[in-house]
């Protein structure tokens, strides 16, 4: 029996005594029945992973610079819309009645001074020219005959062969022939001028801006056929409200923003018409551009014109924001404002619609409504619209 008990004890399972050894960070080694078991402590990995994720989230949050807005002293002035206009622009109208026989140009064609652009049916005027030429030839022949008769009669009178009355009659016929020749010459000139009325020619080198009629249409005296213009010089035309005329006249400088660019240029010359339009109650200002500024510009394009006055007056304080802070989407103009949540802690950005006024160049754009002094606006509205954006003081 003792042998049986000894045999059972010898076959009993060995109870492992855990032996802890350091195998590396986050690992523990257990020795069990001659086998080594390595376990990884998941809690340490989860903790370190959570810290790294939090750090990455903090780094990935968009950092958006903000600026606190307030009233600034700017130049009191006026900004209006205008358009470009060719200084030399002409509407060519028909001066004779008839059908338009040929129209040799179209809108956009380049023309030279004296070039025939359109011809009105001139068969009647051609007949008039031929008749005037024949009348002049007849009057010239009568003048030659009257001159010869007068000279012969004068010689005969000197010799005493004819009476004084015959000489007086020959002189009268000679003067009548001179008058007839002058009248025929005037008729020939008139016929030539009428013939010229059937041809529309370019008054200067330029471009065809518009055609008002087509070949085959009936032209009447005064009806427009073509509009041509010279590309240089060119000017900006703006209509200033009569109530703002004094401010425009007292402006320290006038600037024109060229179409499609951010450049503001000063006109080479400016002219203000002396009277206001009785219907629109506006005064027309003509601002001639220099040759360099007017190069490659075409009439009809819209421009911005600003009349800049002096700064420092009490009413020249304006609430301005940088142009880059404005978010324009269609007809909506807005800014991202720092929104606070409890105890002044920033909670992010909120989009706020604003109504803007005149641009004051590098000083910024005037805000008429939607903001108040002390508001902090994001200088980068695109980044401010991202989730988790964080305001950073400028």
Between 59 and 182, the higher pLDDT residue? 182
Give the H or E element holding residue 75. Answer: none
List the single range of 164-178, 264-278, 339-353, 380-394 with lowest mean pLDDT: 339-353
pLDDT digits (tens, 9 = 90+) for 101-129: 888 899 889 999 989 998 888 777 778 88
Q: Is-cis flag, bond preceding 332, omega within 30?
A: no
Give the H or E element holding residue 66. Answer: strand 63-68
pLDDT score for 10: 44
Compute φ and ψ for 181, nearest 5 degrees: -65, -40
Residue 33 predicted with pLDDT over 60: no
Return the CATH architecture of domain 63-74+316-393: Beta Barrel (2.40)
Q: Give yes or no for a contact between 62 and 386, defined as CB atoms under 8 angstroms apart.
A: yes
Q: CA 150, CA 172: separation in Å to the nearest integer?
A: 9
pLDDT score for 38: 38
For residue 73, CA distances in Å to 208, 253, 313, 320, 366 come to 48, 17, 8, 10, 11
pLDDT score for 151: 92
Q: CA 81, CA 62: separation in Å to the nearest integer?
A: 38
The closest alpha carbon to 162, from 147, 149, 148, belongs to 149
Mean pLDDT, to the nearest integer, of 68-88?
81
> 95: pLDDT confidence band, cut at 50, 70 and 90?
confident
Q: What number of CA atoms fall less than 13 Å from residue 381's CA on the CB side?
A: 19
Domain residue spans of the chain: 2-60, 63-74+316-393, 78-87+231-309, 96-206
Give the H or E element holding residue 159. Answer: helix 123-159
Q: CA 148, CA 125: separation in Å to the nearest integer?
A: 35
Q: CA 371, CA 377: separation in Å to the nearest integer?
A: 9
pLDDT digits (tens, 9 = 90+) for 209-219: 889 988 888 88
Q: What is the pTM of this model?
A: 0.51
Q: State both tokens at 345.
A: 């802690």
Between 363 and 56, the higher pLDDT residue? 363
CATH number of 78-87+231-309: 2.40.30.170
Q: CA 97, CA 108: separation in Å to the nearest integer?
A: 27
pLDDT digits (tens, 9 = 90+) for 322-364: 888 888 888 888 999 988 765 555 668 888 899 887 777 677 8
The closest alpha carbon to 357, from 366, 349, 348, belongs to 366
Between 179 and 221, the higher pLDDT residue? 179
Tell me the residue length of the chain: 394
> Cβ neighbours of residue 388 under 8 Å, at least 6 residues apart?
57, 60, 61, 62, 348
Helix (H, G, I), strand (E, B) or coil at 36: strand
- What DSSP string runs through 132-154? HHHHHHHHHHHHHHHHHHHHHHH
Residue 76 predicted with pLDDT over 70: no
For residue 257, CA distances in Å to 12, 142, 253, 254 come to 101, 70, 13, 10
pLDDT digits (tens, 9 = 90+) for 218-227: 888 888 999 9
């Amino acid at each position: 029996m003792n042998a049986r008990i000894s045999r059972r004890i010898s076959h009993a399972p060995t109870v492992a005594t855990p032996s802890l050894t350091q195998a590396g960070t986050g690992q523990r080694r257990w020795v069990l029945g001659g086998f080594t078991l390595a376990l990884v402590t998941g809690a340490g990995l989860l903790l370190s992973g959570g810290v790294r994720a939090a750090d990455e989230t903090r780094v990935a949050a968009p950092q958006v610079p903000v600026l606190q807005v307030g009233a600034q002293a700017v130049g009191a002035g006026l900004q209006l819309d205008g358009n470009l206009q060719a200084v030399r622009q002409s509407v060519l109208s028909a001066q004779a009645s008839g059908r338009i026989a040929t129209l040799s140009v179209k809108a956009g064609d380049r023309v030279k001074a004296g070039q025939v652009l359109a011809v009105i049916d001139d068969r009647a005027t051609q007949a008039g020219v031929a008749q005037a030429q024949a009348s002049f030839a007849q009057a010239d022949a009568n003048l030659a005959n009257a001159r010869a008769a007068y000279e012969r009669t004068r010689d005969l009178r000197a010799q005493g062969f004819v009476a004084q009355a015959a000489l007086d009659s020959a002189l009268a016929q000679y003067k009548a022939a001179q008058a007839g020749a002058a009248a025929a010459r005037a008729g020939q000139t008139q016929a030539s001028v009428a013939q010229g009325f059937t041809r529309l020619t370019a008054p200067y080198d330029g471009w065809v801006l518009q055609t008002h009629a087509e070949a085959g249409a009936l032209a009447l005296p005064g009806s427009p056929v073509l509009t041509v213009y010279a590309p240089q010089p060119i000017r900006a035309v703006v209509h200033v409200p009569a109530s703002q005329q004094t401010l425009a006249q007292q402006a320290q400088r006038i600037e024109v923003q060229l179409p499609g660019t951010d450049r503001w240029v000063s006109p080479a010359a400016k002219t203000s018409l002396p009277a206001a339009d009785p219907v629109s109650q506006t005064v027309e200002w003509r601002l001639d551009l220099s040759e360099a500024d007017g190069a490659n510009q075409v009439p009809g394009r819209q421009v911005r014109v600003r009349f800049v006055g002096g700064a420092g007056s009490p009413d020249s304080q304006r609430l301005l924001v940088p142009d880059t802070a404005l978010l324009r989407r269609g007809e909506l103009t807005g800014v991202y404002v720092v929104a606070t949540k409890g105890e002044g802690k920033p909670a992010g950005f909120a989009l706020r619609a604003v109504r803007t006024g005149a641009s004051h160049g590098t000083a910024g754009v005037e805000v008429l409504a939607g903001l108040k002094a002390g508001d902090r606006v994001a200088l980068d509205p695109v980044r401010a619209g991202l989730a988790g954006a964080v305001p950073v003081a400028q």
